[in-house]
């Protein structure tokens, strides 16, 4: 001990002020300041990411919620005229991300993992826990080494159509998903399993185009039921269709406007080779079998003044429009004698089990948009407004066909971001929804907190 101490003291005194190298007392004559690293491989990276483990992050997203319609605002939105059938709640997932109770809610906890798999692939996996269930939000692999600006992705992912569809809820500027995205696609947007191929053009202005082949399960555009058993020997119109059943294409263009301004505009299109739906009435199944397509345009403009402190004075304008068309063949099959409750032998029974009714073909045309603006009030604070409207064109085909009223929502938001890892949000929304030809209005207040733990990946434009 005694021997080591003076030696250590001496070493400490002699050590270079910048960086004491614990081993190797001899200095490189070419490196008097001792700044040279021992040989680093080319392409080296100074990083604290743990060697081979995936980068992990957890996002906790909770809210205090209040509305003036006994907590039923989300149900009212789902009943919006023209969108209620096939809007996603007839089958499968009963409540998605949307539904909140009045009071305190844990909306979701996102668990994200990302890593480079090998020299050829990167992978990303995200689970979402909504308080009851764990759901797989995304799990996909992207290529690293394709030449010529090409990139392929496969797995379950959020489609790259439009602008907001690809974003996770924690990236939104408002609490909730735009109505057009929720009602034309689903309460998870367009989230599918499939493959994507994109190409970034080698131009001086940003141009990226892509195509996707997707399994086709999204309620609003590619709902799939498959073949169902015949009723008393009568085949139903629903047929099995193998995937992929949904094909999309998109293009994004961003002119170079210098660093203070940024603009990106996009267009997208999609075609579903199978769109199926069924509604169980008291005595018959109403079956829809057909195809669907959509097109949309999107744009985002951002202004960030030079020397802006903490986003103060920054401005962002964002909007998207979509138009959806569904070509439907309808054919109803009775599974019980009609009128309901009647004995089948009764001569008053108009319809027998297995009878077919309402054979007709029609198409449905619906659209919607949202437009939102955000302004940086002060460092770390921003405020914004949004208008949502769906059903400007709102024609559905059942019966004699019907034109429905539109539905709207107006929102205002105030965001406070203490650091890039946390956010507090106050949002007020007023809904004005058409339900059965009446206007249903409601007010909603959200007080939300979002916290991001761990290594959180960079966000793209």
DSSP codes, 267-298: EEEEEEEEEEEEEE-SSEEEEEEEEEEEEEEE
Tokens representing 379 are 């460092």
* Number of neighbours of residue 345 by Cβ within 10 angstroms: 8
Burial of 218 per CB tally in 10 Å (0-12, 13-18, 19+)? buried
Count of positions (residues) in the chain: 461
Q: How many CA atoms lie within 13 A of 141 on its CB side?
A: 9
Minimum CB distance to another protein, residue 88 (Å): 30
Measured between alpha carbons, how far is 72 from 430 in angstroms, rounded to an integer?
Answer: 13
Minimum CB distance to another protein, residue 17 (Å): 8
**Dihedral sign (CA 7, 9, 14, 17):** positive
DSSP conformation class of 306: T
Measured between alpha carbons, how far is 401 from 379 in angstroms, rounded to an integer?
Answer: 53
* Number of neighbours of residue 288 by Cβ within 10 angstroms: 25
Minimum CB distance to another protein, residue 415 (Å): 15
Nearer to another protein, 403 or 420 (CB): 420
Tokens representing 195 are 């493959």
Minimum CB distance to another protein, residue 379 (Å): 6
Minimum CB distance to another protein, residue 112 (Å): 14
Buried b (16+ CB within 10 A) or exposed e, 397-433: bbeeeeebbbbbbebebebbbeeeeebebbbebebbb
Nearer to another protein, 196 or 277 (CB): 196
Nearer to another protein, 240 or 420 (CB): 420
Nearer to another protein, 193 or 422 (CB): 422
Minimum CB distance to another protein, residue 201 (Å): 8
The beta strand positions in 235-380, using DSSP E, are: 246-254, 261-280, 284-303, 315-334, 356-378
Minimum CB distance to another protein, residue 36 (Å): 6
Tokens representing 381 are 């604070």
Measured between alpha carbons, how far is 224 from 137 in angstroms, rounded to an integer?
Answer: 19
Minimum CB distance to another protein, residue 15 (Å): 12
Nearer to another protein, 44 or 437 (CB): 44
Nearer to another protein, 312 or 360 (CB): 312
Nearer to another protein, 52 or 259 (CB): 259
Nearer to another protein, 231 or 262 (CB): 262
Nearer to another protein, 23 or 400 (CB): 23
Phi, psi of 214 (to 5 degrees): -125, 155
Nearer to another protein, 35 or 340 (CB): 35
Minimum CB distance to another protein, residue 318 (Å): 14
Minimum CB distance to another protein, residue 142 (Å): 7
Asked if residues 170 and 61 have their Cβ atoms less than 8 Å apart, the reply is: yes
Minimum CB distance to another protein, residue 376 (Å): 12
Enumerate binding residues for another protein (CB under 8 A).
17-19, 31, 33-37, 40-48, 122, 142, 144-147, 149-151, 198-200, 202-206, 208, 252, 254, 256, 259, 262, 264, 304, 306-310, 379-380, 419-421, 457-461
Measured between alpha carbons, how far is 448 from 64 in angstroms, rounded to an integer?
Answer: 6
Give me the torsion for CA of 8, 14, 18, 24, rounded to 10°.
-70
Measured between alpha carbons, how far is 92 from 222 in angstroms, rounded to an integer?
Answer: 14
Nearer to another protein, 84 or 263 (CB): 263
């Amino acid at each position: 001990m005694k021997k080591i101490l003076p030696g250590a003291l001496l070493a400490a005194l002699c050590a270079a002020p910048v960086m004491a190298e614990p081993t190797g007392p001899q200095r490189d004559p070419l490196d008097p300041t001792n700044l040279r690293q021992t040989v680093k491989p080319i392409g080296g990276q100074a990083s604290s990411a743990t060697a081979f483990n995936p980068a992990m992050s957890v996002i906790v997203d909770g809210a205090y919620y209040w509305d003036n319609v006994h907590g039923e605002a989300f149900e009212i939105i789902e009943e919006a005229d023209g969108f209620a059938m096939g809007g996603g709640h007839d089958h499968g997932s009963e409540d998605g991300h949307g539904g909140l109770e009045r009071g305190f809610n844990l909306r979701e906890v996102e668990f994200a993992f990302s890593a480079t798999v090998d020299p050829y692939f990167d992978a990303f996996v995200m689970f979402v826990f909504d308080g009851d269930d764990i759901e797989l939000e995304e799990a996909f692999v992207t290529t690293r080494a394709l030449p010529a600006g090409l990139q392929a992705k496969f797995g379950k992912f959020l489609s790259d159509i439009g602008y907001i569809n690809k974003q996770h809820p924690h990236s939104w500027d408002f609490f909730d998903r735009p109505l057009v995205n929720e009602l034309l696609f689903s309460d998870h947007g367009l989230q599918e399993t499939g493959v994507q191929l994109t190409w970034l053009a080698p131009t001086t202005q940003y141009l990226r185009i892509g195509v996707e082949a997707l399994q086709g399960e999204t309620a609003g555009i590619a709902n799939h039921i498959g073949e169902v058993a015949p009723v008393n020997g009568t085949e139903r119109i629903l047929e099995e269709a193998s995937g992929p059943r949904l094909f999309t294409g998109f293009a994004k263009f961003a002119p170079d406007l210098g660093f203070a301004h940024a603009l990106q505009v996009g267009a997208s299109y999609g075609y579903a080779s199978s769109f199926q739906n069924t509604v169980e009435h008291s005595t018959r199944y109403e079956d829809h079998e057909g195809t669907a397509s959509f097109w949309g345009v999107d744009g985002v403009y951002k202004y960030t003044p030079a020397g802006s402190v903490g986003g103060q004075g920054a401005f962002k304008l964002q909007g998207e429009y979509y138009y959806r068309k569904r070509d439907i063949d309808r054919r109803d099959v009775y599974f019980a004698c009609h009128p309901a409750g009647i004995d089948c032998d009764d001569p008053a029974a108009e319809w027998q089990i297995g009878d077919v009714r309402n054979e007709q073909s029609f198409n449905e045309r619906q659209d919607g948009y949202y437009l939102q603006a955000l302004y940086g009030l002060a460092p770390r604070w921003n405020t914004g407004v949004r208008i949502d409207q769906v059903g400007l064109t709102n024609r559905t085909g059942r019966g004699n066909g019907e034109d429905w009223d539109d539905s709207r929502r107006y929102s205002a938001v105030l965001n406070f971001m203490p650091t890039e890892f946390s956010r507090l949000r106050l949002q007020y929304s007023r809904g004005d929804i058409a339900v059965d030809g009446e206007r249903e209005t409601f007010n909603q207040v959200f007080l939300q907190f979002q916290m991001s733990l761990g290594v959180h990946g960079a966000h793209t434009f």
